[in-house]
């Protein structure tokens, strides 16, 4: 709890579309910025200790050479590991740190669809995409839960889901006092719907992947392992290794709850253990575009019930007409 309340170090992600980390570090050091590279696990990260200038107003920042971004938010993009010329969906993209990171890893090739539900937050996303020189991204304002109806067939999908923020108490202390278990349950319901939509937007037959990464800045099991465990029985996906070089294994059991054994491949990050914001990252591989047999039966039963209801309504209308 004490570690959660302690502010995390300020970190930057070098925008490799415009510069290299060494060149950026030299430029900032010349402006009396005390920094170190995050060299153990990131090729783009810089940690700032102190700065004689506002780090969000340097010429380098304005020129789009870096993004001020928590180090933990590098991890979902690293896990998704997009390549050149792929079709990638960032389902909850604002304010754009992960979108622009995806673009850098893809070398500004292929196509990124960056979606967010909030019209107001879209402005920040568009500004960051422009400032960082991203040219392969289409910005969309839509409800992620409805996204498969708009478009699909993506090679890879990133869902950094809305959550209670229990992993970022140092940034928002109100979480401790204002969030309730009902908030956790509401978030869980939304997260389930969004993750199902993310999976449905992904193409299992893609030669470039068929991968989905689910992440949150929450440490609550209900928003993480429980959400992934739920979709494993209703979609043709499996949990795979994240490829991340560190982190604590995901829970396969918690109190009285038991989760799929493969959730050990998910990764958890804690302020006290990693000096990062609390974070959860899980990578899924979609192996079929068809629903599992049990889920397909339920869906068919649901369609049958709706058809019966429609027939009953038609009969009622006829009776009223007579």
Q: For 281, what's the count of Cα atoms within 13 Å in the CB-facing half-sphere? A: 25
Question: For residue 3, is pLDDT > 70?
Answer: no
pLDDT of residue 7: 73
CA distance 194 to 319: 41
Question: For residue 272, is pLDDT > 60?
Answer: yes
pLDDT of residue 298: 72
Predicted confidence (pLDDT) per residue in 211-269, tens digit:
999 999 999 999 999 999 999 999 999 999 999 999 999 999 998 899 999 999 999 99
Question: For residue 317, is pLDDT > 70?
Answer: no
pLDDT of residue 300: 75
Catalytic residue among 94, 163, 217, 282: 217
- pLDDT band of 314, cuts 50, 70, 90: low
pLDDT of residue 306: 62
Buried b or exposed e, range 219-258, using 16+ CB within 10 angstroms: bbbbbbbbbbbbbbebbbbebeebebeebeebbbeeeeee
Q: Is 143 a known ligand-binding residue?
A: yes
Decide: helix, strand or coil at residue 253. Answer: strand
Q: Is 160 a known ligand-binding residue?
A: yes
Question: For residue 210, is pLDDT > 60?
Answer: yes
pLDDT of residue 97: 97
- pLDDT band of 6, cuts 50, 70, 90: confident
Q: Is 94 a catalytic residue?
A: no
- Rounded mean pLDDT of the chain? 91
Question: For residue 1, is pLDDT > 90?
Answer: no
Decide: helix, strand or coil at residue 281. Answer: strand
pLDDT (mean) for 117-137: 96
Backbone angles phi, psi at 111, to 5 degrees: -140, 130
- Least confidently predicted of 123-132, 177-186, 302-311: 302-311
- pLDDT band of 167, cuts 50, 70, 90: confident
Q: Hey, how many other C-beta atoms are within 10 angstroms of the C-beta on 117? A: 18
Q: Report yes or no on whether pTM surpasses 0.85.
A: yes
pLDDT (mean) for 120-131: 96
CA distance 45 to 37: 6
All structural domains of the chain: 2-70 (3.30.70.1170), 72-290 (3.40.50.150)
């Amino acid at each position: 709890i004490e570690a959660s309340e302690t502010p995390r170090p300020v970190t930057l992600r070098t925008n490799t579309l415009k510069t290299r980390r060494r060149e950026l570090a030299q430029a900032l050091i010349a402006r009396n910025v005390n920094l170190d590279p995050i060299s153990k696990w990131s090729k783009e990260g810089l940690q700032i200790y102190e700065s004689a200038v506002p780090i969000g107003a340097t010429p380098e920042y304005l020129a789009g050479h870096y993004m001020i971004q928590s180090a933990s938010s590098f991890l979902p993009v690293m896990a998704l590991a997009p390549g050149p010329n792929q079709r990638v969906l960032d389902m909850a993209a604002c304010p754009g740190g992960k979108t622009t990171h995806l673009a850098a890893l893809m070398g500004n090739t292929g196509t990124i669809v960056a979606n967010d539900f909030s019209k107001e937050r879209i402005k920040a996303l568009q500004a960051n995409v422009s400032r960082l020189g991203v040219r392969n991204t289409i910005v969309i304002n839509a409800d992620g839960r409805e996204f498969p109806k708009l478009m699909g067939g993506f090679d890879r999908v990133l869902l950094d889901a809305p959550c209670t923020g229990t992993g970022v108490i140092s940034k928002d202390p109100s979480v401790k006092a204002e969030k309730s278990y009902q908030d956790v349950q509401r978030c869980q319901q939304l997260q389930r719907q969004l993750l199902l939509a993310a999976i449905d937007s992904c193409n299992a037959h893609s030669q470039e992947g068929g991968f989905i990464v689910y992440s949150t800045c929450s440490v609550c099991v209900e928003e993480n392992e429980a959400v992934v465990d739920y979709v494993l029985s209703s979609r043709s996906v499996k949990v795979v290794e994240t490829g991340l070089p560190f982190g604590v294994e995901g829970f396969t059991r918690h109190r009285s709850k038991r989760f799929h054994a493969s959730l050990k491949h998910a990764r958890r990050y804690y302020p006290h253990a990693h000096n990062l914001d609390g974070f959860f990252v899980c990578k899924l591989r979609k192996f079929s575009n068809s629903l599992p047999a049990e889920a397909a039966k339920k869906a068919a039963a649901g369609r049958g019930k709706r058809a019966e209801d429609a027939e009953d309504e038609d009969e009622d209308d006829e009776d009223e007409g007579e």
